[in-house]
Amino acid sequence: MAKYKTKGLDCWKRAKELRNRYYKDYKESPSRGGLRWEGGAWSFDAIPQALEGEVHGLSEEPYGASIAHNPELQVRYQEAAEGKWGCARDLCSYMRAYWGSVALNEYAYGGPWPHADFIFQNQICCCHSKWLQVADEIDGGTTPYFCFDVGVGPYDKIGDRQIEYVVAQLYDGIAFIERVTGRKIIEEKLIQNVYNTYRSNCYWAKTCELNQAIPAPLDEKTMFSLYVLGSLEKSNQAIADFYEKELYPEVKDRVANKIAAVADERCRVLGDSQPPWGFLRIYRYLEQYGIVSVANLYTFSLIGWMKVDEKGHLVPYPTLEEQGITIKDRDHALRLLVEGELKGKLMWAPFYGANYKNDLVTKIAKQWRCDAAIIHLNRGCEGTAQHQMQLKIALQEMGVPVMTFEGNMADEREFDEGRVLRLIELFVTETLGLKKVA
């Protein structure tokens, strides 16, 4: 008999609907007089989404991940990027998939490549500014391009000077968008988008916090399909509502009623970086041993905002309501937006040193009560694969058994499934001493 009750999420269907609508809207937007823009999961989407009229963005990393989920498509797009454009095959695999899609003039959701009206990107990883520079070049080089810099330091070193630098760029960005589109940014929309951004990011972090419970209400494979909405359009009202009013209450209820993600949970593992998207079945394989992946800095804080409290614990970043803040005007909105991203997006901290990654992830391992760690040495994303070997050492030093395997989130040519499954089996049976659940 299973140890815990389990069931699927009631809001699962809604999450899928929101995601599908996002890609459909992007494709169909021009037929309704809407604008389209390209950016990334970390773009300040609250700004372009505040333009008057209909407007839709295409977020580059989730689009790359969508391609990656289909091995046949990913290889075709990677080979187009390498063959038609001529790039190196060790570059970010999302980026190559994206470039291949542009080079082949194909949209993964059907039809030709949907040209954007402008680009509104950010730069923290070496590839971010380059990604859409090159995509635009492949696409003919006529799309107005704007890229702002958020590489101003880790969360604990953010002060007025850092915030001011980014805000100043956002003002330039607003002027740029208004000029190239001939449309205005509507202040009320901008303010609402900032409220929504806070709700999306903070409620996702609160949801992740609930996974400290035993049994874990969510497994990481499921979480991948949930955080993605925030990486598409965190400023969107429906997405913010989903996080605050549907997902969070449901997961809270699962904790209260001990509804588990994995009915036979008996070993909780920590992950790192993105998984090889075409091979998510490895999580199902782990479940045969009662193993559930419950935590990952990437999965939590790609969009989730968190902070380190006075006791040194990781806790969700407070919403504007919890902070007692009412947004007064455009300037106030921009400052709050930047402050939240710079102070709350802890995933940016490892960009400034291995010590940050070690500190945050060892905190996660303790607070989420992880018994072991399985680290995907992700050859496809240098941003999330930072300091992984140092992290391995730090986790081992705190007594957490660690297994690493090399792979690639979006290039199946760099993932040996059979070998990895054998490694996992050895780790699970020999190191962790687990047997398959009867």
Partner 1 sequence: MIEEFKQWYDDRHSYAKEWKKNNLDGKVVGYFCTYVPEEILYAANCLPVRIIGGHEPPTLATPHMFDMWCPFSRDCLSQGLAGNYDYLDGIMIAQCCLHARQAFGAWQLQVPTPWSYYVCMPNAVTTSHAKKFLLGELAEFKKAVEAWVGKKITDADLDRGIDIMNTNRHLMKKVYESRKEDNPPLTGTEAMTLVWASQLMDKREHNVLVEELLRDLPNRELDREPGIRLMIVGSENDDRPFMELVESIGATFVIDDHCTGSRYFWDEIATTGDRLQAIADRYCDRVPCPTKDFQQETWERKRFPHILTLAKEYRVQGVILVQQKFCDPHECDIPSLKRYLEGNEIPCYVLEFEVTVPVGQFRIRIEAFIEQLRADELFD
Applying CB under 8 A, the residues found at the interface with partner 1 are 85-88, 90-92, 123-127, 129-134, 136-137, 141, 143-149, 151-153, 161-162, 165, 168-169, 172, 176, 351-355, 358, 377, 379, 382-383, 385-390, 393, 404, 406
Nearer to partner 1, 81 or 292 (CB): 81
- Catalogue the E-assigned strands of 10-99: 35-39, 55-59
CB of 393 to partner 1, least distance (A): 8
Please, which residues bridge with residue 403 across strands?
374
C-alpha span between 219 and 211 (Å, rounded): 8
CB of 223 to partner 1, least distance (A): 25
Token pair 């290889």: residue: 75
CB of 389 to partner 1, least distance (A): 5
Dmax over CA atoms of the chain, in Å, equals 64
* ∠ Cα 352 356 357 (to 5°): 105
Nearer to partner 1, 225 or 355 (CB): 355
- Catalogue the E-assigned strands of 137-262: 145-149, 259-260
Nearer to partner 1, 140 or 433 (CB): 140
CB of 429 to partner 1, least distance (A): 25
Nearer to partner 1, 52 or 382 (CB): 382
379 — alpha (psi -120 to 50), left (phi > 0) or beta? alpha
C-alpha span between 289 and 421 (Å, rounded): 13
Nearer to partner 1, 42 or 248 (CB): 42
CB of 225 to partner 1, least distance (A): 27
Question: Tokens standing for 361?
Answer: 């992830």
Please, which residues bridge with residue 314 across strands?
308
Instruction: Determine how β-strand 314-316 pairs with β-strand 306-308.
Output: antiparallel
Nearer to partner 1, 160 or 321 (CB): 160
The sign of the CA dihedral 94, 198, 238, 37 is negative
CB of 129 to partner 1, least distance (A): 4
